[in-house]
């Protein structure tokens, strides 16, 4: 037994489509109180009865609204006020099918002790008078005429197919979210939400933008030493000489020992004691010898001392740390949205607005370098606790559907509706904590009263009936009237022999 519960979005055609997919021989249809629109005309139930009859289904209805039960009973459907009674009815139908009339056994033979019945005597019959034969002929003709008239009224049937005009329209609906709300507020367009969250981790790198300087190499050159003594003097390796001009002297040391002749001169190689361009000096800037050697020797540099250099390198700045944190946060927020949104959609049928995501805490933030450190790339390993407000898609679609119905064109019935979820509003435009938009697309067809259709065509010739329907109804295409048998030129006189089917425009998108 298959149970079909009718929802507020169902109409006679969606339920009929569900019946066509039913594989069970017994079907129980439940029409709850919550279904307010539709199901107010006998044709809504007649369509289901015909479908069940064509598919040989045993059908029973449970209708909570007592005002709608007579509508279903008027087309011959079994209707109950609870599911237990309906299920019991279908079970009895399955267990006790209609009983076929058994063939009566032949009468028993006549007992031997009973006397045989006597044959009746044959009575001579006189032929009836002529006036009686004439009366019988007249009666026979009347009976034949009555039977022919009854057949003319009851045998022919007609199938009328109507294609009403259709309209597509769109409504952008703002949906406000209030986490403290417990149920949907259809009047204000506010729905509740549930906070979901989890920790997510990511890694990002940026090219550093800070600048720093590094020294490469030591200044080198040659100095000229003069012996102040009348005897040879050996200047040992490592002798320190320096400049005396400026606020901070530059010191050098000899890299080889040299022997000075009496009152003579000799050159010696020197190297700066500090790295960088500060060791580069012009000629004749070195003029002082440190230590005891300075008593016997004078020094100068006829040539400049050079060779040291300064290089510009990338370093970490505070702006680089801010940039890499923003980049890592964006990557983690995108990862969190995909994960939380997918989980909400798959398990709970919910929608997670991207703008509702919030960083609640930063459990870990590890930079690869500190500010001022020389490096070309700065990396950050970041872990964030991210939460968001998840909303139920059915709540949002209920508000969007309500506004879609309110904007329904006059004289039309909403046939189909679909919804697309957009981004949250940047400004505070609703009564809730934040607002996002749902675009509702509606497909509506012109409303056609089947009772009016029957009043227009019953008993009329087929061509006249088609013209009347084309003139009186909002149709996208000419009506189709099929009469059985084909030779019968009129639409049947009895409403029960005429079936009216309203189908959407086949060319509508």
End-to-end Cα distance, the chain: 36
What mean pLDDT value characterizes the chain?
84
What 3-state class would DSSP assign to 176? Answer: strand
DSSP string covering 14-55, please?
HHHHHHHT--SSEEEEEE-TT--SS--SHHHHHHHHHHHHHH
Alpha-helical runs (H) found in 414-461? 450-457
Q: Note the pLDDT of residue 416.
A: 87
Most confident residue range from 25-29, 139-143, 199-203: 199-203
The token pair that represents 66 in the structure block:
């007592």
Task: Tell me the whole-structure pTM to 2 decimals.
Answer: 0.47
Tell me the percentage of the chain whose pLDDT exceeds 70: 87
The token pair that represents 59 in the structure block:
């059908």
CA distances from 437 to 339, 393, 423, 509 (A): 22, 12, 6, 24
Q: Note the pLDDT of residue 509.
A: 58
Tell me the percentage of the chain whose pLDDT exceeds 90: 21
Report the pLDDT averaged over residues 26-38: 83
pLDDT in tens, 181-197: 888 888 888 999 888 88
pLDDT in tens, 57-100: 888 999 888 888 888 889 889 999 888 888 888 888 766 555 44
Cβ within 8 Å of residue 79, ≥6 positions away:
60, 61, 62, 63, 69, 72, 73
Q: Note the pLDDT of residue 99.
A: 45
Give which of 423, 371, 457 is closest to 160, Cα–Cα: 457
Residue 144, pLDDT > 70, answer yes
Level-2 CATH architecture, domain 218-307: Beta Barrel (2.40)
Residue 287, pLDDT > 50, answer yes
pLDDT in tens, 414-453: 888 988 887 766 666 778 788 888 999 988 989 888 888 8
Give which of 305, 307, 398, 386 is closest to 340, Cα–Cα: 386
Q: Are 495 and 458 in contact (CB under 8 A)?
A: yes
Report the pLDDT averaged over residues 299-304: 94
As a whole number of angstroms, the distance between CA 320 and CA 312 comes to 18
Report the pLDDT averaged over residues 468-496: 86
Q: Where are the domains of the chain?
A: 2-95, 154-166+448-502, 218-307
Q: Note the pLDDT of residue 102.
A: 41
The residue ranges of DSSP E strands in 368-508, in sequence order, are: 377-392, 412-424, 434-446, 480-484, 498-502
pLDDT in tens, 228-252: 998 999 999 999 999 986 668 899 9
pLDDT in tens, 374-388: 888 999 999 999 998
Q: Are 270 and 220 in contact (CB under 8 A)?
A: yes
DSSP string covering 261-330, please?
PTT-EEEEEEEEEEESGGG-B-TT-EEEE-STHHHHEEEE-SS-BB--EEEEEEE--HHHHHHHHHHHHH
As a whole number of angstroms, the distance between CA 223 and CA 254 comes to 9
As a whole number of angstroms, the distance between CA 181 and CA 72 comes to 39
Level-2 CATH architecture, domain 2-95: 2-Layer Sandwich (3.30)
> In the block, which residue shows the tokens 């029409």?
31
């Amino acid at each position: 037994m298959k149970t079909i519960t009718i929802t507020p979005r169902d109409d006679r055609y969606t339920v009929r489509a569900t019946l066509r997919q039913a594989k069970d021989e017994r079907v129980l249809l439940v029409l709850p109180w919550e279904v307010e629109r539709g199901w107010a005309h006998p044709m809504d139930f007649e369509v289901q009865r015909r479908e069940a009859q064509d598919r040989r289904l045993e059908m029973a209805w449970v209708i909570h609204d007592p005002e709608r039960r007579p509508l279903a009973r008027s087309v011959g459907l079994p209707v109950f006020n609870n599911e237990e009674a309906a299920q019991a009815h279908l079970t009895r139908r399955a267990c006790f099918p209609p009983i076929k009339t058994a063939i009566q056994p032949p009468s028993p033979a006549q007992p031997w002790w009973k006397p045989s019945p006597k044959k009746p005597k044959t009575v001579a019959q006189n032929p009836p008078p002529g006036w009686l034969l004439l009366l019988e002929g007249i009666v026979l003709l009347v009976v034949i005429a009555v039977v022919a008239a009854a057949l003319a009224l009851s045998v022919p049937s007609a199938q009328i197919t109507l294609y009403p005009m259709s309209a597509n329209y769109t409504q952008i609906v703002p949906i406000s979210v209030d986490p403290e709300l417990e149920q949907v507020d259809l009047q204000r367009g506010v729905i509740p939400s549930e906070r979901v969250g989890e920790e997510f981790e990511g890694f990002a790198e940026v090219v550093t933008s800070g600048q720093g300087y590094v020294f490469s190499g030591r200044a080198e050159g040659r100095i000229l030493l003069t012996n102040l003594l009348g005897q040879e003097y050996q200047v040992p390796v490592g002798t320190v000489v320096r400049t005396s001009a400026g606020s901070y002297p530059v010191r050098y040391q000899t890299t080889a020992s040299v022997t000075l002749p009496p009152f003579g001169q000799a050159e010696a190689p020197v190297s700066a004691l500090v790295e960088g361009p500060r060791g580069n000096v012009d000629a004749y800037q070195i003029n002082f010898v440190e230590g005891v050697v300075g008593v016997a020797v004078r020094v100068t540099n006829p040539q400049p001392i050079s060779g040291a250099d300064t290089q510009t390198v990338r370093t970490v700045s505070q702006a680089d740390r801010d940039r890499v944190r923003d980049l890592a946060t964006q990557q983690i927020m995108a990862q969190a949205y995909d994960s939380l949104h997918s989980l909400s959609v798959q398990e709970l049928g919910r929608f997670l607005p991207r703008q509702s995501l919030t960083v609640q805490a930063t459990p870990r933030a590890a930079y690869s370098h500190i500010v001022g450190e020389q490096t070309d790339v700065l990396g950050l390993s970041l872990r964030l606790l991210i939460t968001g407000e998840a909303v139920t898609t059915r709540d949002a679609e209920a508000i969007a559907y309500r506004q879609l119905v309110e904007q329904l064109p006059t004289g039309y019935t909403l046939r189909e509706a679909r919804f697309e979820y957009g981004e949250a509003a940047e400004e505070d435009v609703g009564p809730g904590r934040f607002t996002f938009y749902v675009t509702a697309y509606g497909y509506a067809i012109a409303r056609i009263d089947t009772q009016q259709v029957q009043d227009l065509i019953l008993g009329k010739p087929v061509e006249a009936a088609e013209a009347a329907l084309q003139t009186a109804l909002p149709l996208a295409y000419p009506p189709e009237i099929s009469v059985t048998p084909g030779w019968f030129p009129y639409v049947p006189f009895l409403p029960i022999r005429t079936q009216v089917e309203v189908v959407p425009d086949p060319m509508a998108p």
